[in-house]
Structure 1
Amino acid sequence: MKLNTSQPSFSSYQRDTHFYDEIFSENNEVKEVYKTLLNLYSEHTVQDFARLNEKAKASFFNQGITFQVYGEHETKEKIFPFDLFPRIIDHKEWSHIEKGVLQRSKALNHFLWDIYHDKKILKQGIVPIDLINSSANYLDQMQGLNPPGGIYNHISGTDLIKHSDGKYYVLEDNIRCPSGVSYVICNRTALKRALFGVFNHYQTHTVTDYAENLLEIMESVKPHGVDAPTCVVITPGIYNSAYYEHSYLAKAMGVELVEGRDLFVENDFVYMRTINGAQKVDVIYRRIDDTFMDPLEFRPDSTLGVPGLLAAYKLGNVCLVNAPGTGVADDKAIYTYMPQIIKYYLGEEPILSNVHTYHCHRPDELKYVLDNIENLVIKPVDEAGGYGISIGNKLTKEEIENVKKVIKENPRKYIAQPIMSLSVHATYIEDSKSFEPRHVDLRTFCLLGKDKSFVLKGGLTRVALKKGNLIVNSSQGGGSKDTWVLKK
């Protein structure tokens, strides 16, 4: 139905009654937290927003804020789509999110320690041992190894959705190389430039303190006996989809951005080649996958890694952030056991609920999935970026049969979830030059160090820019919004 609002830029906004709208209530009134913002935006016409949108795009392009999209036939570099209308999360709501995200990160760190040491949770049958043994991301090389500071998942990205009941649910945990935090910071900068003065009307937490906290976390897990650690960020190179983020974070932390060829190992210590000679490296924030980081231990054909790096790590002479082998807890099959994992290690009830999930390796759940695909979202357990996802009610009969065949060939590889009613948020759409409701999620960023933790008060709100689309990933045509977390 069409909303009759006084805001020129929202005069054609149509609230979809099937979904939870974060701005407008069920009786079409503007929610309290957004009233001031909509009054401010009423000073701008739709034409103003078209101009401001172009200004924001130019800002992103000039800063090199882009990402790579890997297609079937070609790879494209695209400007990261940015929406001018921010998402607001009040203090009470954020406090709940923050506690839940930190709880999950701590529980996952305990879980990783256990499965690489005593394996108590496996021996007691709480998590099936075959899930661990069959995970491509479980590394035998990490058995019995004690990472500096006892931390595996220094950086975690937890993806949340707001359902039609108004509650937040966790879609998945990302702890291999969670990306997107640079866009959080750049979104804030772009919005301030495009709509100067808007922030004066809200007391909003900063997001620009992420880099300094990340550096503190890295320094807190320095190798034993090191007083002033040398930290670096290692990248696969300029053609990686997240290269902008790698370079941004290195610059923001004031550390070197290196590639594998810039480092070498000698006498089980890691060194960086510089114009002044070799410099010892103590902490490496790695944006290289496990199997590419050391050709002596993993893929011998890798030119991205550093020969001997894992040997130096095993001896405690360098710290890797995140630790190798964390991907086993990234597995969406393990996600299904998160409530039990939290209770087992922390003795607490989960603060944030999982989306109900069926794992196809369980015969009874496999049968249910095959019989009800049209009502489910099918996801591979080890993919990222929205790749490999099938949304049942969008599939033809032929496509459903193909999905069934793929699942039956390798049930371990797939989970299924109900088609959730992701909340919608007003989003500027270029084609119509108007604001329309679009589905959103939220990626939060949590840091764990030795005796220190930090959750970025903001996160990345991702937007499915295509009407009716539920996949928010930038690689699938999604964009993002600035996310405001309000102070008390």
Structure 2
Amino acid sequence: MKGAARLFKTYATGAFFDEMFTPHGKPKSHYRKFFDVLQSFSTEELREKHETAQLSFLRQGITFTVYNNNVGTERTMPFDFIPIIIPSEEWEVVEKGMIQRAEALNQFLEDVYQDKRILRDGIVPRRLVEENPYYYDEQVKGIDIPLKNHIFLAGIDLIRDENGKYHVLEDNLRNPSGLSYVYQNRYVMRQVYPEFFASQSVHTLEHQLSHLHQAILDHAPESRKEKAFAVLLTPGMYNSAYYDHVFLAQQMGMDLVEGRDLIVKKNIVYMKSIRGLKRVDIIYRRIDDDYLDPEAFLAESALGVPGLLMAYRKGNVAILNGIGNGVADDKAIYAYVPDIIRYYLGEEPIIDNVKTYLLDNPEEREWVLDHLNELVVKNVGASGGYDMLVGPHASEKLIEEFRKKIIETPHQYIAQPTIKLSRAPAYQGEAFYPCHVDLRVFVVRGVDTHVMPGGLSRVALKEGSLVVNSSQGGGGKDTWVFKKREEEGDD
């Protein structure tokens, strides 16, 4: 028995939906060819390929920064070579669901910064918008947003439950990161495991960044369409996602700039260069709202560009993603997204939310406080797996800490049932074992909307963990979407 086959002998699917195997332990139809190739490797070949893949990330400098007690540590993203494979008919549903959701959330943003109909009609509670720290009504109202498009790039996180049904876990509409890892996962996979691609018909990623670049250019001011110049604005090399910024700028042929490289004169933005000033028409910014312009937001910001907001207001420059998008990806607003879809589009959600309890509702709060050991509790303003309680895995002490937090600031938290997240095999430590996974899907919106085939599959590499974030020990997998001719029938 070859190495891979032997290493799978103890693999158990359990009570979870497994991406690769049926409940009877057989590979699903869309994984069969991959599994056949995998079984041809010896234990030594698997170990060597795994180590080569990890070293490839290190050699290319593909890192992210984890902050703990204000001290940053550089780490490489752990990579697992078992891909997530999605059949074409399944992907079509995901694609439609993502387009629908991004469109409804964009209409919500346009509305809450203009007419506020959804607030007047009581569909979304007014206080959730007006008291939201990411709501910048004063700065954004009255601006004629290019294409009326606040969401140029969305990163929408999906999970699957024990029945294999997709749910949206989170919307990322400010500065979604991770696109570079999608490409590097594929690059490493092709370099280290070329055998996997010989007989597979997988949607390529080769031309996907051209869609992203075109969507950026689509937002140019009308008078500058023919000669639009776009830059990517980064906070600098100490930002945790700096690799992402460098990769995207290089791949799209855009200048990577910091705030000190830009200047505003007579409400027009210019980039400083050795040849003098060059007019900037579009800024794909990876800087948070508060730091964009010290004249309009935080006065002490050294990252931003004084006068940038006024240039935006005058229509002389486009800023992507839009300012104030955080009001739409807040975890409390998340609970209302199905209603937002119905309100603006008159449609039922194609991919629904996870059930969510809003803890400033007294009845829901009391029920949640009685069931904390069964639920996941999240801070509405946190991300990356921070300030989060996973009840079934938490100590009594941590549960009591969250009980106090909820009682003191109930509006700051939401609760959700602990979903049996789908699992997929991961190879770590010379064995295959099941790990929980999720999928970040990237939606690109310009004149047209495009969903990148696949996305960033994240895996909780700590055995039994439900947290997939890289800052919490998670890793990445390549994500394959098959072309239609590849599939071999249903299970």
Query: TM class, shorter-chain normalised?
Result: over 0.9
One-letter code of the match for 1:383?
A: A
Partner of residue 74, structure 1? 71
Q: 1:161 aligns with which of 139, 159, 162?
A: 159
Given that 2:57 and 2:76 are in contact with CA atoms closer than 8 Å, whether structure 1 keeps it comes out as yes
Q: Secondary structure at the residue paired with 1:354?
A: coil
One-letter code of the match for 1:233?
A: L
- Once the two structures are overlaid, the 10-residue window that deviates more, 137-146 or 473-482, is 137-146
Partner of residue 288, structure 1? 287
Partner of residue 258, structure 1? 257
The alignment status of 1:132 with 2:123, answered yes or no, reads no
Partner of residue 86, structure 2? 89
Q: Against the structure 1 CA distance between its residues 98 and 408, is the aligned structure 2 distance closer, same or farther, given a 3 Å change threshold? A: same
Q: Distance in 2 between matches of 1:443 and 1:327?
A: 18
Partner of residue 188, structure 1? 186
Partner of residue 475, structure 1? 471
- Once the two structures are overlaid, the 10-residue window that deviates more, 92-101 or 403-412, is 403-412
One-letter code of the match for 1:443?
A: R
Given that 1:9 and 1:41 are in contact with CA atoms closer than 8 Å, whether structure 2 keeps it comes out as no
Partner of residue 433, structure 2? 436
RMSD of aligned alpha carbons: 1.3
Q: Distance in 2 between matches of 1:479 and 1:269?
A: 42
Partner of residue 176, structure 1? 174
Q: TM-score, normalised by structure 2?
A: 0.96
Query: Between Structure 1 and Structure 2, how many residues are aligned?
Result: 482
Partner of residue 457, structure 1? 453
Q: Distance in 2 between matches of 1:164 and 1:384?
A: 25
Partner of residue 223, structure 2? 225
Q: Distance in 1 between matches of 2:301 and 2:291?
A: 5
Shift, 1:14, TM fit: 1.7
Q: Against the structure 1 CA distance between its residues 61 and 7, is the aligned structure 2 distance closer, same or farther, given a 3 Å change threshold? A: closer
Q: Secondary structure at the residue paired with 1:61?
A: helix
Q: Secondary structure at the residue paired with 2:421?
A: coil
Partner of residue 40, structure 1? 37
One-letter code of the match for 1:61?
A: L
Which string of whole-angstrom CA distances, capped at 9 and with x for unpartnered residues, describes residues 190-248 of structure 1? 00000113212111101232321111001111112112210110111101110000000
Partner of residue 367, structure 1? 366
User: What is the aligned-residue identity percentage?
Assistant: 46
Shift, 1:12, TM fit: 3.6
Given that 2:3 and 2:42 are in contact with CA atoms closer than 8 Å, whether structure 1 keeps it comes out as no
Shift, 1:410, TM fit: 1.3
Partner of residue 395, structure 2? 396
- Once the two structures are overlaid, the 10-residue window that deviates more, 388-397 or 9-18, is 9-18
Shift, 1:435, TM fit: 1.1
Shift, 1:344, TM fit: 0.6
Given that 2:13 and 2:21 are in contact with CA atoms closer than 8 Å, whether structure 1 keeps it comes out as no
- Once the two structures are overlaid, the 10-residue window that deviates more, 168-177 or 22-31, is 22-31
Shift, 1:264, TM fit: 0.7
Q: Distance in 1 between matches of 2:416 and 2:207?
A: 35
Q: Distance in 2 between matches of 1:111 and 1:103?
A: 12
Partner of residue 14, structure 2? 17
Which string of whole-angstrom CA distances, capped at 9 and with x for unpartnered residues, describes residues 375-394 of structure 1? 11001112111111110112
Partner of residue 331, structure 1? 330
One-letter code of the match for 1:388?
A: D
Q: Secondary structure at the residue paired with 2:198?
A: helix
Q: Distance in 2 between matches of 1:148 and 1:475?
A: 35
Shift, 1:365, TM fit: 1.2
Given that 1:102 and 1:455 are in contact with CA atoms closer than 8 Å, whether structure 2 keeps it comes out as yes
Q: Distance in 1 between matches of 2:5 and 2:13?
A: 19
Partner of residue 417, structure 2? 418
Shift, 1:9, TM fit: 5.7
Given that 1:9 and 1:45 are in contact with CA atoms closer than 8 Å, whether structure 2 keeps it comes out as no
Q: TM-score, normalised by structure 1?
A: 0.97
Q: Distance in 1 between matches of 2:6 and 2:279?
A: 56
Given that 1:56 and 1:82 are in contact with CA atoms closer than 8 Å, whether structure 2 keeps it comes out as yes
One-letter code of the match for 2:89?
A: K
Q: Distance in 1 between matches of 2:9 and 2:70?
A: 39
Partner of residue 52, structure 1? 49
Which string of whole-angstrom CA distances, capped at 9 and with x for unpartnered residues, describes residues 267-306 of structure 1? 0010001111100000111000000111111111111111
The alignment status of 1:303 with 2:302, answered yes or no, reads yes
Q: Secondary structure at the residue paired with 2:436?
A: strand
The alignment status of 1:406 with 2:398, answered yes or no, reads no
Moved over 6 A (4+): none
Runs (5+) with no aligned partner, structure 1: none
Q: Distance in 2 between matches of 1:350 and 1:304?
A: 39
